[in-house]
Structure 1
Amino acid sequence: MNIEGKTVWITGASSGIGEALTYALNKRNCKLIISSRRVHELQAVRSNCQNKDAVSIVPLDLAAYESMPERVQQVVAEFGPIDILINNAGLSQRSLIAETAIDVYKKLIDINYLGTVAMTKALLPHFITNKNGHFVTVTSLMGKFGSPYRSGYCGAKHALHGFFDVLRMEHAKDGIGVTLICPGFVNTNVAKNALTADGSSQNTQDKATQNGLSVETFAKKMIRAIEKEKFEAYIARKERMGIYLRFFPKLLHKVVLKSTVK
């Protein structure tokens, strides 16, 4: 697939990976719909684009997933056929299981899983009718194996893999593709915004996150994976080795526990 000129809807576009994707795809002459809860930040992203006229802002809160069918219908009616949906929005976590309030787990599931599923389901009939469409979902390496302090985050990301693997199986016949993007550490605010045990934000940066891939490098690799229509892409540095160690669960367990990552 050549992404040039495609109509792409990006969630979580106000910062980090979503922002970098917006700039990169704008240079590829894509017609972009960018979404997040923070309209002011979206406006700043749009103003930084080379071709601002090709970027439209649609405020969106994944937690309000019950209203997603109506919201998606409005967007399709206003902007016409959509080629690619990039499910990028989400929240991380930094807290021990024994200390974490159940409401924190609910919020992680509501936003990372149910919100993404609701948006995908709402757009699915549009893709089926057009016999064309590509769902790109940013999960995590934590969607393939676990790590301490991220139990709820890992659970939600694992769930996304289960859902989208089945979506791919059920709708390949309709010309619909699914790509799961699994980042390792990327230098974004994901750690600062991560939920702690009581639901408040961590507000500090992880060393591993700070030393992660730049968002610009990540976006280039992600776009390449989309164009190759990969089922899954693992975009990371040495933490990528965890993917292969999954086949040796006891060894993976030891390696993760020995790491200094929190």
Structure 2
Amino acid sequence: MSNLTDKIIWITGASSGIGEALTYEFANQNAKVILSARRKEELERVKANCPVSVQNNIFILPLDLAHTAMLQNITAQAIRLFGHIDILVNNGGVGQRSLILETSLEVDKQIMEVNFFGTITLTKSLLPHFIQRQQGHYVTVTSLTGKFGTPFRSAYAASKHALHGFFDALRAEHWKDNIKVTMICPGFIQTNLSVKALTGERTQNDKTLTHYKKKSAEWCARKIVVAIERQQEEVYIGGKEVFAVYLKRFFPTVFSKIIRKVPVR
């Protein structure tokens, strides 16, 4: 039996990509799942793709991370669905593909509003519940760009760096409440994040130009489930791009010279 069996897991960004793949993994392990994203019809599709035998344990709760004023009330609704929540998977977010010089400040703000402020608002809304229960697990999907910045991803990288700072602090403050934090840092994964990334003027990219072979979302989801079960603090998931984390850490000058020439767009 999986140690996720009967766990109540709330996942944002569940309508596609890594979030959708995670939903299927959780369902296959008999977890009870709350699916959140903006598009209700896509959440219905994901639920319908799960085994019929577990669909009664899957609830749909639409939300928009950009509407932070609504998240406290939505958190209360999520808790009422099963009576409590064991794990929150912060997976929702928006991507970026634009040069700094070409990116309006409004786009920078929009990315921070969704990726950072939306995520921490939901996290803080759930925190008293975790403290009261003296247990809980935050799983936050950031990115390898949360460990280093790259061209075309300035605001995106900044938002992911900010999440690492916030959740490192949360882990340190609430270890005594038995609250766990797992930071997930994917590399190149096959999702719509690149396709639907924002450009410099709030328009969607609608194409991906990345030259690297990408791992599947299903492969990534399996790695994430293992990290959750082991309650790991931080994991890097991807191909050879993962080594950039260590290159940046131990050979920052070499990394700086390499990253400026890498076709990461």
**TM-score normalised to the size of structure 2?**
0.96
Report the residue type matching 1:22 in the other structure: T
Bigger drift between 63-72 and 29-38 goes to 63-72
1:199 to 196, 199, 202: 202
Cα distance per residue 1:68-90 (max 9 Å; x no partner) = 11211122123211000000000
Question: Cα distance 1:78–1:54, how it changes in 2: closer, same or farther (>3 A)?
Answer: closer
Give distance in 2, aligned partners of 1:196 and 1:67: 27
Cα distance per residue 1:13-63 (max 9 Å; x no partner) = 000000000001100000000000000000000000012111100001000
Cα distance per residue 1:117-164 (max 9 Å; x no partner) = 000000000000001100000000000001000000000000000000
Q: Equivalent residue for 1:37? A: 38
Aligned 8 A contact 2:210 2:263 in 1: no
Q: Equivalent residue for 1:228? A: 230
Give distance in 2, aligned partners of 1:99 and 1:189: 22
Report the residue type matching 2:104 in the other structure: A
Give distance in 2, aligned partners of 1:49 and 1:181: 24
Q: Equivalent residue for 1:3? A: 4
Give distance in 2, aligned partners of 1:45 and 1:246: 38
Aligned 8 A contact 1:185 1:208 in 2: no
Q: Equivalent residue for 1:15? A: 16
In structure 2, list runs of 5 or more residues that go unmatched.
Answer: none
In structure 1, list runs of 5 or more residues that go unmatched.
Answer: none
RMSD: 1.1
Give distance in 2, aligned partners of 1:179 and 1:75: 21
Moved over 6 A (4+): none
Report the residue type matching 2:263 in the other structure: T
2:137 aligned with 1:134, yes or no? Answer: yes
Q: Equivalent residue for 1:26? A: 27
> Identity across aligned pairs (percent)?
49
5 Å-filtered alignment, 1:84-233, equals 84-208=87-211, 211-233=213-235
Cα distance per residue 1:83-112 (max 9 Å; x no partner) = 000000001101011111100000000000
Question: Cα distance 1:101–1:79, how it changes in 2: closer, same or farther (>3 A)?
Answer: same
Residues paired across the two proteins, number = 261
Give distance in 2, aligned partners of 1:75 and 1:226: 20
Q: Using the TM superposition, give the Cα deviation of residue 206 of structure 1 relative to its aligned residue in structure 2, in angstroms.
A: 2.9
Cα distance per residue 1:158-207 (max 9 Å; x no partner) = 00000000000000100100000000000011111100010100000233
Give distance in 1, aligned partners of 2:153 and 2:78: 34
Give distance in 1, aligned partners of 2:209 and 2:223: 23
Q: Using the TM superposition, give the Cα deviation of residue 246 of structure 1 relative to its aligned residue in structure 2, in angstroms.
A: 1.7
2:52 aligned with 1:64, yes or no? Answer: no
Bigger drift between 185-194 and 250-259 goes to 250-259
Report the residue type matching 1:154 in the other structure: A
Aligned 8 A contact 1:184 1:240 in 2: yes
Q: Using the TM superposition, give the Cα deviation of residue 243 of structure 1 relative to its aligned residue in structure 2, in angstroms.
A: 0.9
Report the residue type matching 2:185 in the other structure: C
Give distance in 1, aligned partners of 2:77 and 2:7: 19
Report the residue type matching 1:255 in the other structure: I
Aligned 8 A contact 1:93 1:196 in 2: yes
